[in-house]
Structure formats: C-alpha cells, structure tokens
C-alpha cells in the first residue's frame, strides 16, 4: 500500500500516458498515481485529494470533477528533453512550424528550446486560428500531430511536454514528502538529463567517426572532389584535388573558392547556377574534365575533377576488355535487313523498346534473328557502352549455367575455383544480359532468375552477401512458353516478369519479299557481291518454306558460294533436299495455342500430319471434344475408363503417351488441375480430317 496518492487529470489521452509515465518514474515508488483524461471518462467527483492538472487550459473543464477538500496544482510544463535529439539533426537555419494548441504554449516552448540552446532552427509559431502561415515543409509538435497543417511534409513529434522540476517539488510539498524524498527526486530528474547528454555525446562521437570514414573514402577516390556552398565557401576538398591542382596547402575547407583557385573561369563555372554541366580545363599542365552539379537538399554545389587522359585510356581499356571477352554487342538496327512491312514494323517497335530500361521477351522460331535484335536493342539503349553478355541455356548443363550466371564463393562446391568466381550477371553490371533459349531452363534456375528480376540483387552460390546488380535482361525463346506453363515446366510468374515488353519475330516463310535483300546482304558479307544468281535459283529460293529461317538462308548462300564455279550461281549449286531443315516435331510453333472454347484460332503443326494410330487418336479427340462441349473436365483416367467401353481398352499409361503426341502437335492442351484436357482449333481440324479418313 502507498502511504500517499494523487489524481492526475490531463486534456488528452496521449498527454495522460506521457505524464503518468514521467511521474511514475520519479515519484511512483512512494506515491500512488490515479490518472484520467478529459478525452476519456472520469468516473466521479473527487474529494479530499491532491489533484494535478496538466495545464491551465483545462482548469474550467476539470472543475466539475473537483469536489470538497481537494488541493489543486496546475502543472508547469517544459519541453520533453528526451526527444530533443530529433531536433539536433535538422540542418542549420531550417525553417520549421512549431505547432501546439494555443499561442501561450507555443511561445513558451519555443522560448524553452532557445534557452536550451536549440537555436540553430528558425521556429515559426503555429496554433489553431493562426493566420498567414507560410508554406513550410517541416513541423515540430509536442504531441499535437492532428493540429499540423496539411501542406507540411514532415512532422517531428517531440512528444507531449513534461512536468517541470518545480511542479514535482510542489507536489512533494503538498504530500509532505519534500524533506524525505526531495533529494531522490531531483537526483532522478538530473540523471535523466545526464542520460540525454550521454546520448548526444554518443551521437556526436558516431558522427565524428562517420566523418573521418567519409574523409578516408573521399581521399581514396581517384578523382578530385569539391563541394562548396552557393556563396563559394569550400566544405569538401579531397586530397586528390590538392594533388591535381598542385597546391601546397591542405587548408582549404572554410575558405572561399577564389582564394584557392587561381583559374577564374573555373571558379565561375563551379558557381554557375545552371543545373548540371561538364567542361574541360587545363589545370596544372593536365587536361581535366570537371563535372558540376547541385545538391539542392544540402544547398551545395559538388564538382568532380577527372584526369581526361586517364579517363579516355580507362574507357578504351574497358572496351578492349569487353571485346576480348566477347562481351560486346556486334549488331545494330542497320544490320537487320529486310523491307517487308513486318520487318519494318518489328524494327520500329524494337527501337522504341531499346530506349526503355525494361525487360524484354523476344519470341521467334530458330534463326529468325533473336540474338541480332537483342544486340541491336542493347546498342541503341542507354547501356550501349556497358557490356552485352549472351548466355545460351540450351548449350549448357543446368549446374554449370547456375554457377556461370550467379558466380560462386571459394569452397562452394568440390572443384570450385580458388577465390570463387564472378557470375555473368555481375559481369554484365551496367549493361545487358541476353538469356537465349530461356525455355530450356530448369524450374530451379527459373526460381533463381525470378528472384534476380524481382529483387535486382543476387547471392553467389555458397555466399551470404547480397550483391545489387544493375542489368537489363533480354530473354528469347523459340518454345511456346504458354504451353510450357500449362504443362508445369515453365513458371508463370517468371513469364510475366520477362514479358514486360515483347517482340515477336516473323518467320521468313511469311515474308519472302525479304529474301532478295537478305541474299544481297549475305553476298556482301562474304565479299562476293559481284556474283550473279540465275533466275531459276532465285525462284527456287523464293519457293522454300525456310523452317530454319534466316540462318538457314545464310547457310544455303554460303554453301552455294562454296560449290559454284566462277561468278554465277546456277541450279546445279542448289543443295539437295536433305540439306534443308524440315519442320521437326519438337520445333513447336511459337504463337500461343488458343483454346477452342475461347473461339480463336490456334496454331499448330501444318500441314496436318496423320499419325499411324489414327483410330485411337480419333477416339480420344472425340471424347475430349464432347467433354469440352459439355463443359465437363476430362483427364487421363476418364479417357482410359471410356476406352474400356470402346472396342480397344487403353491403360492410363498408353493414354498418356498418346496425349503427349497429340500435345506435341498442338492438337490438345493439358491443363493440370484446371479444366483437364482441351482441344485446340487445329485439333478439331485434325479430328475432322480423321473422321474423313477412318
Ligand atoms: N533480318 C536479318 N538481317 C540480317 N541478318 C539476319 C537477319 N535475321 C537473322 N539474321 C542472321 O541470321 C543468323 C541467325 O540469327 P540469330 O542467331 O540472331 O537468330 P536466333 O533467332 O537467335 O536463332 P536461335 O534461336 O537458333 O538462337 C545470324 O547470322 C544473323 O545475323
């Protein structure tokens, strides 16, 4: 039991919480504090109690609850010094609104803050009803956040003001505790202030260390770095700049720029008001590129000084290194030949895409020029001077691709190189990575790729450090990714991450008017532009289906150039049929097969190939078609059951194999878990053809 007690009444709940916490801390060991706020409910009228009111502003409102025999103390309040450190981080001369509920409390608090030495800020008083308030971005308030005007962008809440020491002493007097407890209480009060100064000195120490560290970093930079105030007073001047300018003094910070720089043109260039600019200067017998920009939040101007000769050499050697590694994009849009409407349109779209920094998915059959376009996009983008790396997923085993792409730390696995390895993503930093044949990646790798695309950072294999990367991804595929999603072999989320921008490259057989221009281009490339092609050869070439697209055409030209006699290519030089690529079953059409029930055309292998087990196919397609029409789901199990009623029962295994064949031909699409198997438009054509033959 406490020998003594008091009643604390405040205006708001927030103030009640702050004050009861404060009082409990200083006198709570020997005084029982009952706390109430006018914002909440006060249960009854108090009699014979010591009542502490949080401010004179609530005297009238609290009066009905104060009965006979009560002693009332109206608390004097002072700024909550525990939160003052928040104000110390505001830059000098920052204009702030000081917001509180009444003019008196505002002026009182500002006065206290100034007396406490927090005088580097320009306080503009604000309270409800105040007129002509300037549009200021920062407000400070002792807990009255709701009163802050809407135009303020940042609010620094230093918390409700605390009861001052004098009031605490008065309370003790009223409770006849001053003699016994006065020393303890003032000691506690002072300890709080000492804690604050400890906190501040710790912060100062930390910022000293940070400054020292920053200075080391700045001095370690190979360039000269200068920062000045708009009036020209130097605030940063690193060691390299001293060396670059051949100065023999290190006392530069705090002086005016024109006292340190003899070159007046340079001084006026640095202090120029315009936004951002670079210029050459000859300083101390060396050519220097000075780049100047304004940091408006800091009200300062920064200039970097680069040795021009070194910069050019560095860039040259960087480019040489890229070429040596093959990390350079060879082609530009000018290298893409063809005047057909489709090519002109595709190039137009691709060059618009190049200007963005977004991920691109290029779809097209093999040999349509996916790598060519990726390279041209890179060369027309802002990343043009960065690396361009191409990774072909179909050419590499999964584990190798993973370590090539993401790199690894030393000891990550048996055989890992000493010192680890930087992955291609890291090597492509600042440039573009071309992920060719993305459809050939494993699900595990897809998950890792997805993470890189989402987070723009990676972790090396066996590593624990997050490495941020700035790489544009261009992916390409000749597979039908939508079909792969349906089959569960390609992640849908990755597909959408890749297909932010999209290019479909037209098949050569659908734009045969480009063939003459392409032939001319390949003849030029091989240095044989004067060679003549007989009209019948041209006719022949125009008649082919070119399932291997432009690559196949190029190979054919190369072949004919190798075998022809003299300066003319004749019909004798045309390769035999077996030279040409016939459409293979695994080369799926790249346009998405659209299901029949959406009523749109699906693409499939054409011309229709009738497989040997036609009867079984007909049975299965009919059953699928019927189920689709009736809107019921159909799967392997049902098909196998139905085949029992048919003349030839088929096991689920047999059904699966036949379904795989039908799916490869794009006649059906299997939707695992969702709606079962669906017939495509070309599946229906095939069924009709079967019905005509069987
Ligand atoms: N429009 C074009 N103009 C000139 N050359 C082209 C054109 N399209 C493709 N080529 C050439 O055809 C060849 C194949 O192109 P590329 O390697 O870019 O195709 P791809 O679609 O990436 O093939 P794959 O899918 O097999 O990797 C290259 O030699 C390329 O330079």
656: CATH: 1.10.10.10
CB of 460 closer than 6 A to ligand 1?
Answer: no
Residue 357 CA to ligand 1 centre (angstroms): 23
Residue finishing a domain among 193, 209, 243: 193
Residue 7 CA to ligand 1 centre (angstroms): 86
Ligand 1: residue whose CA is nearest its atom 23:
367
CB of 405 closer than 6 A to ligand 1?
Answer: no
How long, in residues, is the chain?
694
Residue 104 and residue 75 share a domain = no
320 within a domain of the structure (yes/no): no
Residue 280 and residue 340 share a domain = no
CB of 551 closer than 6 A to ligand 1?
Answer: yes
Check residue 675 and give its pLDDT. 65
In angstroms, what CA-CA distances link 647 with 619, 642, 652, 686? 10, 10, 16, 21
Residue 459 and residue 398 share a domain = yes
The total domain count for the chain is: 6
Write down the ipTM of this complex. 0.97
């708009």: which residue's tokens?
230
> What backbone torsions phi and psi does residue 130 show, to the nearest 5 degrees?
-65, 135
Omega within 30 of 0 (cis) for the link into 212: no
CA 22 to chain CA centroid, nearest Å: 45
Residue finishing a domain among 472, 504, 536: 504
33 within a domain of the structure (yes/no): yes
SS (H, E, C) 201-269: HHHHHHHHHHHHHHHHHHHHCCCEEEEECCCCEEEEECHHHHHHCCCCCCCCCCCEHHHHCCCHHHHHH
Which helix (H) or strand (E) covers residue 421, if one does? strand 421-422
Ligand 1: atom nearest CA of 372 is 18
CB of 506 closer than 6 A to ligand 1?
Answer: no
Sign of CA dihedral 125, 128, 134, 138: positive
Decide: 497 and 450 in contact? Cβ < 8 Å: yes
542 within a domain of the structure (yes/no): yes
Decide: 53 and 7 in contact? Cβ < 8 Å: no
Residue 91 and residue 75 share a domain = no
Check residue 588 and give its pLDDT. 42
Ligand 1: residue whose CA is nearest its atom 8:
369
How many angstroms separate the CA atoms of 352 and 376, rounded?
12
Ligand 1: atom nearest CA of 392 is 27
Closest CA to 513 of 554, 553, 542: 542
Ligand 1: atom nearest CA of 343 is 1
Residue 655 and residue 551 share a domain = no
Ligand 1: residue whose CA is nearest its atom 16:
369
CB of 436 closer than 6 A to ligand 1?
Answer: yes
579 within a domain of the structure (yes/no): no
Residue finishing a domain among 280, 311, 342: 311
Strands (E), 38-127: 50-53, 71-74, 77-78, 95-99, 122-126
What strands lie across the sheet with 286-295, from one edge to the other? 234-237, 224-228, 300-307, 286-295, 276-283
CB of 554 closer than 6 A to ligand 1?
Answer: yes
Closest CA to 168 of 398, 344, 8, 34: 8
How many angstroms separate the CA atoms of 227 and 237, rounded?
7
Query: Residue 348's domain is classified under what CATH number?
Result: 3.40.50.300
593 within a domain of the structure (yes/no): no
Residue 557 and residue 646 share a domain = no
CB of 635 closer than 6 A to ligand 1?
Answer: no
Residues paired with 676 in a beta bridge: 634, 671
10-residue mean pLDDT profile of the chain (694 residues): values are 82 90 89 93 91 91 93 88 77 88 87 82 91 88 88 88 88 87 79 71 74 79 87 88 78 87 86 81 79 80 85 64 68 94 95 94 94 95 90 73 82 62 88 92 90 89 84 94 91 94 94 94 88 92 91 90 87 82 50 35 34 74 87 86 79 85 77 71 77 61
**Helices assigned H by DSSP within 355-390:** 370-379
Query: Residue 234's domain is classified under what CATH number?
Result: 3.30.450.20
Residue 465 and residue 386 share a domain = yes
Residue 459 and residue 399 share a domain = yes
Ligand 1: residue whose CA is nearest its atom 24:
366
Ligand 1: residue whose CA is nearest its atom 30:
369
CA atoms within a 13 Å half-sphere pointing along the CA-CB vector of 274: 6
CA angle 487, 492, 496 (to 5 degrees): 145
CB of 270 closer than 6 A to ligand 1?
Answer: no
Ligand 1: atom nearest CA of 521 is 4
Residue 78 CA to ligand 1 centre (angstroms): 77
Check residue 591 and give its pLDDT. 37
Check residue 678 and give its pLDDT. 83
Query: Residue 538's domain is classified under what CATH number?
Result: 1.10.8.60
Query: Residue 105's domain is classified under what CATH number?
Result: 3.40.50
Residue 519 and residue 472 share a domain = no
Residue 345 and residue 286 share a domain = no
Rounded to 10°, the helix 165-174/13-27 angle is 70
Residue 497 and residue 432 share a domain = yes
DSSP state of 285: T
CB of 372 closer than 6 A to ligand 1?
Answer: yes
What is the residue range of 417's domain?
326-504
203 within a domain of the structure (yes/no): no
Check residue 413 and give its pLDDT. 60
Check residue 365 and give its pLDDT. 92
Ligand 1: atom nearest CA of 336 is 3
What is the longest distance spanned by two Cα atoms in the chain? 126
Check residue 322 and give its pLDDT. 58
Check residue 594 and give its pLDDT. 35
How many angstroms separate the CA atoms of 262 and 477, rounded?
61
Check residue 69 and give its pLDDT. 92
207 within a domain of the structure (yes/no): no
Query: Three-state DSSP class for 449?
Result: helix
CB of 478 closer than 6 A to ligand 1?
Answer: yes
27 within a domain of the structure (yes/no): yes
Residue 555 and residue 413 share a domain = no
CA 523 to chain CA centroid, nearest Å: 45
How many angstroms separate the CA atoms of 390 and 371, rounded?
8
pTM of the model: 0.46
Q: Which two tokens stand for residue 78?
A: 């002072």
Query: Three-state DSSP class for 504?
Result: strand
Check residue 159 and give its pLDDT. 85
Residue 395 CA to ligand 1 centre (angstroms): 17
Residue 371 CA to ligand 1 centre (angstroms): 6
Decide: 26 and 54 in contact? Cβ < 8 Å: no
CB of 224 closer than 6 A to ligand 1?
Answer: no
């Amino acid at each position: 039991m406490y020998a003594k007690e008091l009643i604390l009444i405040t205006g708001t709940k927030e103030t009640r919480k702050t004050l009861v916490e404060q009082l409990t801390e200083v006198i709570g060991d020997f005084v029982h504090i009952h706390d109430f706020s006018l914002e909440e409910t006060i249960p009854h009228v108090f009699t014979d109690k010591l009542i502490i009111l949080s401010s004179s502003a609530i005297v009238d409102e609290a009066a009905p609850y104060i009965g006979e025999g009560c002693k009332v103390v109206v608390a004097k309040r002072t700024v909550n010094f525990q939160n003052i450190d928040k104000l110390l981080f505001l830059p000098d001369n920052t204009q702030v609104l000081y917001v509180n509920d009444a003019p008196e409390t505002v002026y009182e608090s500002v006065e206290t803050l100034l007396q406490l030495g927090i005088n580097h800020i320009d306080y503009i008083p604000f309270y409800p009803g105040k007129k002509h308030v300037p549009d200021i971005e920062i407000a400070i308030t002792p807990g009255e956040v709701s009163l802050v005007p809407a135009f303020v962008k940042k609010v620094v809440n230093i918390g409700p003001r605390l009861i001052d020491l004098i009031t605490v002493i008065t309370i003790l007097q009223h409770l006849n505790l001053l003699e016994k407890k006065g020393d303890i209480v003032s000691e506690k009060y002072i300890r709080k202030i000492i804690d604050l100064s400890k906190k501040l000195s710790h912060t100062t120490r930390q910022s000293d260390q940070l400054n020292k560290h920053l200075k080391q970093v700045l001095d370690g930079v190979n360039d000269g770095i200068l920062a000045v105030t708009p009036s020209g007073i130097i605030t940063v001047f690193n060691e390299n700049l001293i060396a670059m300018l051949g100065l023999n003094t290190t006392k530069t910070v705090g002086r005016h720029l024109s006292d340190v720089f003899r070159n007046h043109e340079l001084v006026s260039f640095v202090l120029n008001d315009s936004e951002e600019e670079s210029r050459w200067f000859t300083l101390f017998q060396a050519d220097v590129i000075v780049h100047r920009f304004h940091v408006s939040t800091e009200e300062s101007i920064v200039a970097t000084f680069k040795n021009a000769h070194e910069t050019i050499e560095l860039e040259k050697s960087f480019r040489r290194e890229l070429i040596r590694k093959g990390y350079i994009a060879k082609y530009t849009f000018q290298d893409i030949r063809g005047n057909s409407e489709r090519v002109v349109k595709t190039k137009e779209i691709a060059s618009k895409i190049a200007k963005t920094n977004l991920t691109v998915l290029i779809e097209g059959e093999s040999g349509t020029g996916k790598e060519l376009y990726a390279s041209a996009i890179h060369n027309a983008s802002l990343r043009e001077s960065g690396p361009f790396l191409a990774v072909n997923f179909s050419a590499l085993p999964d584990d190798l691709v993973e370590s090539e792409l993401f790199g690894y730390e030393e000891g990550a696995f048996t055989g890992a190189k000493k010192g680890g390895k930087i992955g291609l993503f890291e090597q492509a930093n600042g440039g573009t990575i071309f992920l060719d044949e993305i459809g050939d990646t494993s699900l595990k790798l897809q998950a890792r790729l997805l993470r890189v695309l989402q987070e723009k950072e990676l972790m090396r294999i066996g590593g624990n450090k997050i490495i941020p990367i700035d790489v544009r991804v261009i992916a390409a595929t000749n597979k039908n990714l939508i079909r792969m999603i349906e089959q569960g072999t390609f992640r849908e989320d990755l597909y959408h991450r890749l297909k932010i921008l999209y290019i479909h490259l037209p098949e050569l057989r659908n734009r045969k008017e480009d063939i003459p221009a392409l032939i001319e281009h390949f003849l030029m490339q091989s240095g044989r532009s004067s060679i003549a092609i007989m009209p019948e050869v041209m006719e022949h070439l125009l008649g082919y289906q070119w399932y291997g697209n432009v690559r196949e055409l190029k190979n054919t030209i190369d072949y004919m150039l190798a075998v022809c006699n003299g300066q003319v290519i004749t019909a004798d030089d045309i390769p035999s049929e077996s030279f040409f690529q016939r459409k293979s079953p695994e080369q799926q059409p790249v346009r998405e097969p659209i299901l029949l029930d959406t009523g749109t055309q699906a693409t499939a292998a054409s011309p229709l190939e009738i497989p040997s087990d036609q009867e079984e196919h007909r049975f299965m397609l009919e059953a699928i078609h019927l189920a689709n029409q009736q809107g019921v789901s159909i799967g392997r199990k049902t098909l196998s059951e139905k085949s029992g009623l048919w003349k030839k029962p088929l096991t689920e295994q047999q059904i699966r194999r036949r379904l795989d064949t039908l799916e490869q031909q794009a006649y059906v699409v299997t939707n695992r878990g969702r709606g079962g198997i669906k017939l495509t438009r070309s599946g229906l054509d095939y069924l009709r053809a079967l019905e005509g033959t069987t």
